[in-house]
Amino acid sequence: MSWYWNEIGDKDSARYATTTAVWVSYLIAAVDGVIGIVSRVSHKPIAGRDELILLDAFLFTVIAWQIGRLSRAWAAIGFGVCLLELLVSIQTTGFTVGSLPRAIVGGVFLAAYGNALRGAFAYHKFAKLQADQGTGSAQTG
């Protein structure tokens, strides 16, 4: 199993595929929260961000919580928000050698959300198959 593209073959591996995105979301929420609070207290932007970044922190906290609950919709929202923020970051600052580390980190985060998306959908597929097999064997037994 690779860190960037998990093999998914059952419910447990599907659940495991979502864990990286949960931790990435909590990491983003924590960093954004600290930046937002420091910006609010100091009354000036930190790293070009003001206290409105606290909304982003809240959003990523909800994304982490819901992906942890294996929500397919929130896995898709997490992937979309991560992709959008990466594209906006590249568009506003341009793509230079100096922005390469940010793009690499963004790509790794995007892969984590891609795995979460795959894992959430696979988990529900395996759960449905397991439930169908359970009701099928009960009816024939």
Supply the DSSP string of 103-141, one letter for each residue: HHHHHHHHHHHHHHHHHHHHHHHHHHHHHHHHHHHHHH-
Per residue in 31-41, pLDDT (tens digit) is 999 999 999 99
For the entire predicted model, the pTM comes to 0.87
Say which residue the tokens 């449905």 belong to.
128
In percent, how much of the chain has pLDDT > 90?
A: 67
Q: What is the mean pLDDT of residues 2-22?
A: 88
Per residue in 88-105, pLDDT (tens digit) is 888 887 777 777 888 899
Is residue 22 scored above 90 in pLDDT? yes
CA 90 to chain centre: 19
Q: What is the mean pLDDT of residues 121-139?
A: 83
Please state, in angstroms and as integers, the Cα–Cα distance from residue 75 to each residue in 10, 36, 38, 43, 92, following that order. Answer: 18, 25, 29, 34, 26
